[in-house]
């Protein structure tokens, strides 16, 4: 593979000094960044493929730390309903009706949407069909951490999803055997813990032991809704995070998602144990509430950004999530300086990589890291012109339609708005068709919002 030389770029490195090079170069060899900055022309191999990035921002590929690949075909099934209806009458019936082949198309469609919004790395909290998710990620060309949904206790769980503690763990170990490190290392497998409602204390502690011994992470929805805290207090004797602490589950390899209903003391516990957080502002606004993000950032907790799944966000678009992250905490705290653009960009790049235990691999453009990057056309969208301050403009004005090229491990995944790895048209048509069949099989009836006349 010849070297790639990207020149004339506005490079947002997100390195330790957060350096920006206006008109800089990036040299990529064997999928790895060899240099980023202002390069001596002598140091660039003569046969390097040259990419002129004039007028473009080149920055690390975005990291989506919480996205449900298997829920993509359920987009629109959970709008304007309460959480129990959302889960019991919409999401669980949908998941129960999803076949492995449906799941493949769901995962492909989700990867497409992520690629278009500049994502090169994501973490999946756990679907039922890990094999088809693995196939989709292999094909899509981006990085993914996969997990399997595990539920060994609780009420109302779909028959095909309830398992014993041993089954939960054994199946995850099987998936780890089959997929961890596959697709040239782009795929990792972590342990999934769905929620405390559905995970026994035994499952929690045994998962922690296994994750530690295998050097992987645990992906868990934590302190999502107020009812969860009432449940853990009465059933397990303490609010969720305090309970996890007593069980010894808190640690640097725990990715806690949402953390909306978390106390100041619990935030201190997160800091103490270096627990990582995935903030999903769209889903939070729709069904959960405000996560105390400024408070967590102030404590030095590693907070990243996720989109969550299509039935509860419904946009798998990190540009929308960056915008929301910057906006909602200002509104909640009435502090216009809360969560400024530079913090948001960190959360979506280097902090995302750190949250996924991949800070040494991706999340910034510097020598030795994988060439996971995106090119953004600053003048693609009328809403992003003019650009006075590129960092602020990225968060407050630009849309994902400004992303024109995406590279992962030195290979182009999208170039000039054309996705190279997936058959976009075919996947979208199949997604629509399969989604309608799933809805019918699941018996999900959506209320008519306006009277529909048919001919």
What is the C-alpha to C-alpha distance for residues 108 and 82, in angstroms, rounded to an integer?
29
Whether the ω angle into residue 386 lies within 30 degrees of 0, i.e. cis, is: yes
What lies within 8 Å, CB to CB, of 15 at 6+ separation is 36, 364, 365, 366
Structure tokens at 322: 């960056």
Q: Which is nearer to Zn ion, 58 or 146 (CB)?
A: 146
Q: Which is nearer to Zn ion, 308 or 430 (CB)?
A: 308
Region of 13-21, 171-179, 305-313, 403-411 interacting with Zn ion (CB under 5 A): 305-313
Q: At closest approach, how far in Å is the CB of 150 from Zn ion?
A: 14
What is the C-alpha to C-alpha distance for residues 180 and 139, in angstroms, rounded to an integer?
16
Q: What is the DSSP letter of 448?
A: P
Which residue is at the shortest CB distance from Zn ion? 308
What is the C-alpha to C-alpha distance for residues 91 and 88, in angstroms, rounded to an integer?
6
Q: Which is nearer to Zn ion, 64 or 393 (CB)?
A: 64
Region of 11-19, 109-117, 308-316, 378-386 interacting with Zn ion (CB under 5 A): 308-316
Q: At closest approach, how far in Å is the CB of 257 from Zn ion?
A: 6
Region of 1-9, 151-159, 302-310, 424-432 interacting with Zn ion (CB under 5 A): 302-310
Which letter, b or e, does each residue of 427-450 get, where b requires 16 or more Cβ atoms within 10 Å of its Cβ?
Answer: bbebbeebbeebbeebebeeeeee
Q: At closest approach, how far in Å is the CB of 278 from Zn ion?
A: 9
Check binding of 95 to Zn ion (CB under 5 A). no
Q: At closest approach, how far in Å is the CB of 135 from Zn ion?
A: 22
Check binding of 366 to Zn ion (CB under 5 A). no
Size of the chain, expressed as the number of residues it contains: 455
Check binding of 308 to Zn ion (CB under 5 A). yes
Q: Which is nearer to Zn ion, 308 or 321 (CB)?
A: 308
Binding characters for Zn ion, 260-299, by CB under 5 A (x = yes) = ----------------------------------------
Q: Which is nearer to Zn ion, 192 or 239 (CB)?
A: 192
Q: At closest approach, how far in Å is the CB of 66 from Zn ion?
A: 6
What is the C-alpha to C-alpha distance for residues 167 and 254, in angstroms, rounded to an integer?
21
Region of 25-33, 306-314, 395-403, 409-417 interacting with Zn ion (CB under 5 A): 306-314
H/E element holding 222? strand 218-222
What is the C-alpha to C-alpha distance for residues 260 and 191, in angstroms, rounded to an integer?
22
Spatial CA neighbour of 267 closest among 246, 228, 294: 294
Q: At closest approach, how far in Å is the CB of 184 from Zn ion?
A: 28
What is the C-alpha to C-alpha distance for residues 148 and 432, in angstroms, rounded to an integer?
25
Q: At closest approach, how far in Å is the CB of 166 from Zn ion?
A: 25
What is the C-alpha to C-alpha distance for residues 106 and 309, in angstroms, rounded to an integer?
11
Note the residues at the interface with Zn ion (CB under 5 A): 308
């Amino acid at each position: 593979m010849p070297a790639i030389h990207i020149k004339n770029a506005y490079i947002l490195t997100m390195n330790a000094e957060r350096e920006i090079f206006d008109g800089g170069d990036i040299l990529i060899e064997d999928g790895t960044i060899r240099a980023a900055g202002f390069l001596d022309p002598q140091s660039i191999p003569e046969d390097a493929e040259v990419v002129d990035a004039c007028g473009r921002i080149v920055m690390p590929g975005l990291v989506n730390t919480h996205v449900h690949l298997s829920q993509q075909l359920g987009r629109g099934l959970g709008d304007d309903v309460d959480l129990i209806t959302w889960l019991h009458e919409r999401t669980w019936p949908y998941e129960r009706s999803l076949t492995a082949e449906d799941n493949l198309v769901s995962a492909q469609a989700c990867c497409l949407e992520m690629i278009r919004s500049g994502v090169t790395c994501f973490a999946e909290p756990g679907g039922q069909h890990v094999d088809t998710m693995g196939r989709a990620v292999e094909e899509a060309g981006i990085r993914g951490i996969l997990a399997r949904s595990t539920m060994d206790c609780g009420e109302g769980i779909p028959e095909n999803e309830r398992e014993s503690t041993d089954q939960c763990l054994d199946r995850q170990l099987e998936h780890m055997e089959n997929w961890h490190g596959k697709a040239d290392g782009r795929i990792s497998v972590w342990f999934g813990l769905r929620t405390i409602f559905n995970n026994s204390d035994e499952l929690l502690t045994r998962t922690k032991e296994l994750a530690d011994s295998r050097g992987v992470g645990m992906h868990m929805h934590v302190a999502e809704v107020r009812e969860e805290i009432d449940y853990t207090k009465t059933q397990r004797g303490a609010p969720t995070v305090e309970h996890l602490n007593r069980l010894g589950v808190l640690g640097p390899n725990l990715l806690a998602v949402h953390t909306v209903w978390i106390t100041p003391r619990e935030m201190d516990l997160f800091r103490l144990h270096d627990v990582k957080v995935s903030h999903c502002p769209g889903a939070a606004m729709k069904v959960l509430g405000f996560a105390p993000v400024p408070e967590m950032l102030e404590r030095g907790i590693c907070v990243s950004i996720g989109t969550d799944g299509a039935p509860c966000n419904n946009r798998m678009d990190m540009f929308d999530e960056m915008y929301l992250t910057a906006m909602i905490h200002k509104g909640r705290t009435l502090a216009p300086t809360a969560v400024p653009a530079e913090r948001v960009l960190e959360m979506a790049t280097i902090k995302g990589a750190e949250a996924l235990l991949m800070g040494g691999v991706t999340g910034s453009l510097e020598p030795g890291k994988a060439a996971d990057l995106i090119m953004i056309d600053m003048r693609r969208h009328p809403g992003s012109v003019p650009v006075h301050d590129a960092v602020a403009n990225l968060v407050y004005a630009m849309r994902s339609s400004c992303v024109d090229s995406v590279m992962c491990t030195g290979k182009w995944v999208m170039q000039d708005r054309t996705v190279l790895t997936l058959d976009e048209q075919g996947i979208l048509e199949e997604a629509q068709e399969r989604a309608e069949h799933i809805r019918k099989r699941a018996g999900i009836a959506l209320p008519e919002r306006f009277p529909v006349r048919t001919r």
